[in-house]
Chains A and B, each alone.
Chain A
Amino acid sequence: MDLAAQLPLLLGLAWLTPLVSFVLILFFGPRMGPHGRNAAWVATAAIVTSLVLSLTAFVVWIGAHPGTASHHGGHGEHALWETEHGPAAGSAYAAESPGKPAAADAGHARPADGSHGGDHDDHGDAHGPIAYAGDWYTLYEGGRLKLSIGWYIDALTILMFVVVTFIATCIHIYASGYMHDELHDVTDHEVTLADGHHLHRPGRFPRFFQALSLFCFSMLGIVIAGNLAMVFVFWELVGICSWFLIGFYYERKSASTAANKAFIVNRVGDFGMLIGLMALWGALGTLHFADSKTAGPDGAVVESPGLFSLVRPAETDHQLQVPDGMVTAAAAAEVATIAADHAGAPADGASEIAARVPGWRDAGYGRWLLFIAGVGIFCGCVGKSAQFPLSVWLPDAMEGPTPVSALVHSATMVAAGVYLTGRFYPVLSPDVLLVIAYVGAITLFIAATIALVANDIKRVLAYSTVSQLGYMMLALGVGGWAAGLFHLVTHAFFKSLLFLCSGSVIHACHTNDMRKMGGLLKVMPWTGYTMLVGCLAIIGAGIPFVIGLSGYYSKDAILAQALSFAQANPSHWILFYAVAGGAALTAFYMFRLWFMTFMGEPRDHHIAEHAHESPNVMVAPLAVLAVLAVVAGWTLPGGFGLANLLEQARPAGTAEGMTGGFVFGQSLTFPAEYKSHEGAIHVTATMTAFATALGGVLLAAAMYLWKVISPAAVATALRPIYTFLSNRWYFDELYDALFVKPALGIAGLASGVDRGLIDTLIDGVAWAARQLAGIDAWIDRTLVDGLVNATAEATWNTGLKLRGLQTGRLRQYVMFIVVGTVALFVFASLAFRATVSG
């Protein structure tokens, strides 16, 4: 089997295994052992299978594409842009070229199509990623609309598969310990019923793992999806899964509200995404990422270009240009005129339109459409990845069980937004990227400041997640494609680690409030030290220029790219300041968390005495994740590392950066990413990162470890700011006033109209109908019934009279017969005589 057939098979199976687990638990969950205990094994077995399959795919990929190129991405590498339709079962394609997979296996052979051969040494950015795409099954095909279940597999897909399944595996194992309470009847002390008792309910152990399996399936679906329609389907599935899991304790008002909030806020983003989808499909007629081959009407193979090659066609060396479809869609009036002029010969009209497209494109037609498409898709990512202004749901999502928080915050859900932005990157125009960068910058700053003053251990982590997602978006927005996705991967490891550690702490202390913790390092050394690793990783600790934890590499890459961007576009220096300031804030709040929880004297002796290290099933995932949080960013001797692996998936034409932009009144320059790893920029960025992180840690230590600065004094001195931050910038209040209250007001008005006006009207109509019915009933009873009754009575009376004749006396009957017969004869003869004579 060649790679093009192997990878879809492996990853497809890895994708579907959690679905099998979901279905099994859905139907047989409660019957799986006592209280459904074995549901955990089913779900874990499924996700481990996925992990093994993903790792197999990873190894297969590494075997074919070692990914040991220099950090310059496609510069020195002969990568190739290839779309294949593997012979997987259900493939809708009638034909496939047997020659091309061989080209893929041959390593870095150039495709022989010659369209961008020859001069590739001068244009390194012309090289596309190594990617395999195809469709398993076509759901619907009509007109230009084709909905299919397909795959788009490149290094990023495989990497995400490994990360998602790996972290999900850790979380499944951890959750089988953490959710232990759900195996028996649960008394929920946070729910007080009307009679004053606490809620007592059966455990929901299988249900949890059922939702977890569906969650993994949906997330993997997004990652493997070969077209935007499929992405959207699984996007919504992830949304509903998060709703299930955040609202797991749905009897608690806060949990059900948080679940609804997450779901509704995500819908807001998805509305934008739908607009983006419509813009793309309406103008371009396809939602496939890659080119696809379909069987034409006469059996011939028809190549239809996908989004990537429409926006970055080979003719322009994969540089971004507004695709023809968008140009003609924007110039609809002119197109209509030309079509009317050539009403007699449509072919002439079409050719004239085609001839005039470049002119229209230069005149700027269609760029707004491309901008809207990009911003629209990004809107969906804003919702999923909790970016400003839709970041409000993520901290509330802490209401779910902690393993869910870990999963939502690291590998799934929020990762989906960043992943899609990365996947969709080739289609994003410079202006969209600037929007993304600023949204990311605002998000990272706001979230980081809120995290400074939060006292709930999970909320600190939640805001830290929002802030780190801001980092990723900003990185993507300033042209750091690999940096952003690299940070996505490393962040997944250390943030899941941090969340699982916090879960372990909560499990031991039975509280989320850090003000009641302290000195826990002695009783929970494993949790404490693994969490320290997580904190060090997230602040990007390391020895500059020598070695560091995973966060050191990814964060430095972001800083360097932001600096590189700021130097190229002097009016956007604020982006770099945001990143650097955010790094200092991150260091401060993470170590504030760690010091408050694990160092010093216990603040609440009752809690400290009862605290204990968590069971092995919970500690083991911590240790594994801690190791990965350290090593995930390393590049092994020989050049094997995540960063280089990601470079294989770099979208075509982005390696050398790009320039352009029209919306914001200036031309933007996105410097090539590899330039940020060289010379002065790299040194400055690394030193900045190191200095800011060190500053943050030292400040946190001064306040919470050495206690030379009193946090209370600082809070008093900066009272207004402190209040502002601890109220989370009043976002909830703002949205409450801006959207919730007006919505409720309008709803109240509508219900008033409904009750007062419409109900009255309907009641009146009903009353009138009732009166009419009364009249009708009277007519029915007196007239109709009277007639019927009278007939019946007459018949009855006749019957009564006639029964007297039935005497039962035989002789009388004989007399009747005789008399009757004689009478008949008499009558007949009389009648006969009358006839004859008359």
Chain B
Amino acid sequence: MIGAFAASPLFGFLITEPVSVAHYLVVGAIMFTAGVACMATKRNALGVLMGIELVLNGANVNFVAFASPYLAGDGARSLGLDGQAIAVFVIVLAAAEAAVALAITLNFYNNHATVDVDRADDLKG
């Protein structure tokens, strides 16, 4: 099984090669995809919020990965911390967003006695 995976032309390098930026990207992509799936499938609003957190953090992993000095090359004129800085911003934004979203959810619950997002269709056309 592992041998078959290692032999696959697209993903085989994940186990044949040492850990590199690509590995991080795969982790980020998996987190991102899991988040999106979570958002798309969960009916509980809190579950959707968790999905969003996953998506954001998947993106964060990508930012940090792309900030790797291996990728910067010789022409880099920054401190090499751009990705990390943006990741910090995203975390702050995620915290703020979570506060707002939880407040919305709480209100929604107060009004509808449920947190089922399928019931939140008051704005449908």
Within 8 A of B (CB), among A218-255: none
The reply to whether the CB of B117 lies closer than 8 angstroms to some CB of chain A is yes
Are the CB atoms of A811 and B125 closer together than 8 Å?
Answer: no
A809 and B36 CA atoms in complex are apart in Å by 15
From A20-28, A113-121, A641-649, A800-808, give the one contacting chain B. Answer: A800-808
- How close is A815's CB to chain B, nearest CB, in angstroms? 5
A814 and B120 CA atoms in complex are apart in Å by 14
Are the CB atoms of B40 and A814 closer together than 8 Å?
Answer: yes
The reply to whether the CB of B31 lies closer than 8 angstroms to some CB of chain A is no
Report the nearest B residue to A807, measured CB to CB: B124
Are the CB atoms of A811 and B124 closer together than 8 Å?
Answer: no
Within 8 A of B (CB), among A806-838: 806-811, 814-815, 818
Hey, what's the 0/1 contact readout for B23-50 against A, CB within 8 Å counting as 1?
0000000000000100111110000100
The reply to whether the CB of B122 lies closer than 8 angstroms to some CB of chain A is yes
Are the CB atoms of A810 and B48 closer together than 8 Å?
Answer: yes
- How close is A805's CB to chain B, nearest CB, in angstroms? 7
Are the CB atoms of B122 and A808 closer together than 8 Å?
Answer: yes
The reply to whether the CB of B123 lies closer than 8 angstroms to some CB of chain A is yes
A805 and B122 CA atoms in complex are apart in Å by 14
Are the CB atoms of A814 and B36 closer together than 8 Å?
Answer: yes
Are the CB atoms of B36 and A803 closer together than 8 Å?
Answer: no
Asked, given contacts A811-B117, A811-B118, whether A806 binds B124 with beta carbons under 8 Å apart, the answer is yes
The reply to whether the CB of B121 lies closer than 8 angstroms to some CB of chain A is yes
Are the CB atoms of B120 and A808 closer together than 8 Å?
Answer: yes
Within 8 A of B (CB), among A57-106: none
Report the nearest B residue to A804, measured CB to CB: B125
Are the CB atoms of A810 and B120 closer together than 8 Å?
Answer: yes
- How close is A807's CB to chain B, nearest CB, in angstroms? 5
Q: Which chain B positions have C-beta within 8 A of A808?
A: 120-125
Asked, given contacts A810-B48, A811-B43, whether A818 binds B36 with beta carbons under 8 Å apart, the answer is yes
Q: Which chain A positions have C-beta within 8 A of B41?
A: 811
A/B pair count, beta carbons within 8 Å: 39
- How close is A107's CB to chain B, nearest CB, in angstroms? 111
Q: Which chain A positions have C-beta within 8 A of B124?
A: 806-809
A36 and B42 CA atoms in complex are apart in Å by 94
Report the nearest B residue to A800, measured CB to CB: B125
Q: Which chain B positions have C-beta within 8 A of A807?
A: 121, 124-125
A803 and B118 CA atoms in complex are apart in Å by 18
Q: How large is the interface on A (under 10, 10 to 19, 20 to 34, 35 or more residues)?
A: 10 to 19
A328 and B119 CA atoms in complex are apart in Å by 110
Q: Which chain A positions have C-beta within 8 A of B42?
A: 811
Are the CB atoms of B40 and A806 closer together than 8 Å?
Answer: no
Q: Which chain B positions have C-beta within 8 A of A804?
A: 125
How many B residues, CB 8 Å from partner?
15
- How close is B87's CB to chain A, nearest CB, in angstroms? 21
Are the CB atoms of B40 and A809 closer together than 8 Å?
Answer: no
Are the CB atoms of B121 and A811 closer together than 8 Å?
Answer: no
Q: Which chain B positions have C-beta within 8 A of A814?
A: 36, 39-40
Report the nearest A residue to B55, measured CB to CB: A814
Within 8 A of A (CB), among B85-125: 117-118, 120-125
A265 and B48 CA atoms in complex are apart in Å by 103
Q: Which chain B positions have C-beta within 8 A of A810?
A: 39, 48, 117-118, 120
- How close is B14's CB to chain A, nearest CB, in angstroms? 21
A818 and B123 CA atoms in complex are apart in Å by 21
Q: Which chain B positions have C-beta within 8 A of A818?
A: 36, 40
Asked, given contacts A811-B43, A811-B118, whether A806 binds B125 with beta carbons under 8 Å apart, the answer is yes
Are the CB atoms of A809 and B125 closer together than 8 Å?
Answer: no
A807 and B121 CA atoms in complex are apart in Å by 7
- How close is B115's CB to chain A, nearest CB, in angstroms? 11
- How close is A601's CB to chain B, nearest CB, in angstroms? 112
Report the nearest B residue to A811, measured CB to CB: B40
- How close is B25's CB to chain A, nearest CB, in angstroms? 15
Q: Which chain A positions have C-beta within 8 A of B121?
A: 807-809
A809 and B39 CA atoms in complex are apart in Å by 12
Report the nearest A residue to B118, measured CB to CB: A809
- How close is B116's CB to chain A, nearest CB, in angstroms? 10
A818 and B117 CA atoms in complex are apart in Å by 18
Q: Which chain A positions have C-beta within 8 A of B117?
A: 809-811
Report the nearest A residue to B122, measured CB to CB: A808
A802 and B53 CA atoms in complex are apart in Å by 31
Q: Select B39's contact among A802, A803, A806, A811, beta carbons within 8 Å.
A: A811
- How close is B36's CB to chain A, nearest CB, in angstroms? 5
Q: Which chain B positions have C-beta within 8 A of A811?
A: 39-43, 48, 117-118
A805 and B123 CA atoms in complex are apart in Å by 12
- How close is B67's CB to chain A, nearest CB, in angstroms? 23
Report the nearest A residue to B52, measured CB to CB: A814
A219 and B77 CA atoms in complex are apart in Å by 103
Q: Which chain A positions have C-beta within 8 A of B39?
A: 810-811, 814
Are the CB atoms of B40 and A803 closer together than 8 Å?
Answer: no
Residue from the set B41, B43, B48, B121 with the largest chain A CB neighbour count within 10 Å: B121
Within 8 A of A (CB), among B34-86: 36, 39-43, 48
Report the nearest A residue to B43, measured CB to CB: A811
A818 and B43 CA atoms in complex are apart in Å by 17
Are the CB atoms of A806 and B48 closer together than 8 Å?
Answer: no
Report the nearest A residue to B123, measured CB to CB: A808
A818 and B34 CA atoms in complex are apart in Å by 12
Q: Which chain B positions have C-beta within 8 A of A803?
A: 125
Q: Which chain B positions have C-beta within 8 A of A805?
A: 125
Report the nearest B residue to A818, measured CB to CB: B36
A814 and B117 CA atoms in complex are apart in Å by 12
A803 and B121 CA atoms in complex are apart in Å by 13
Report the nearest A residue to B33, measured CB to CB: A818
Within 8 A of B (CB), among A109-127: none
- How close is A424's CB to chain B, nearest CB, in angstroms? 96
Q: Which chain A positions have C-beta within 8 A of B43?
A: 811
A814 and B36 CA atoms in complex are apart in Å by 7
Are the CB atoms of A815 and B123 closer together than 8 Å?
Answer: no
Q: Which chain A positions have C-beta within 8 A of B122?
A: 808
- How close is B47's CB to chain A, nearest CB, in angstroms? 10
Q: Which chain B positions have C-beta within 8 A of A809?
A: 117-118, 121, 124
Report the nearest A residue to B36, measured CB to CB: A818
Report the nearest A residue to B45, measured CB to CB: A810
- How close is A729's CB to chain B, nearest CB, in angstroms? 100
A806 and B43 CA atoms in complex are apart in Å by 18
- How close is A429's CB to chain B, nearest CB, in angstroms? 103
Asked, given contacts A811-B41, A815-B40, A818-B40, whether A806 binds B123 with beta carbons under 8 Å apart, the answer is yes
A374 and B4 CA atoms in complex are apart in Å by 137
Report the nearest A residue to B41, measured CB to CB: A811
Q: Which chain A positions have C-beta within 8 A of B123?
A: 806, 808
A509 and B124 CA atoms in complex are apart in Å by 99
Q: Which chain A positions have C-beta within 8 A of B36?
A: 814, 818
A670 and B125 CA atoms in complex are apart in Å by 113
Q: What would be 5 A-B contacts, judged by CB atoms less than 8 Å apart? A: A808-B121, A808-B125, A809-B118, A810-B120, A815-B40
Nearest 10 CB-CB pairings of A with B? A808-B121, A808-B124, A806-B125, A803-B125, A810-B117, A814-B40, A814-B39, A807-B124, A811-B40, A815-B40
Besides the known contacts A811-B41, A811-B42, A814-B39, 12 further A-B residue pairs in the complex with CB atoms under 8 A apart: A807-B121, A808-B120, A808-B123, A808-B124, A809-B117, A809-B124, A810-B39, A811-B39, A811-B40, A811-B48, A811-B117, A814-B40
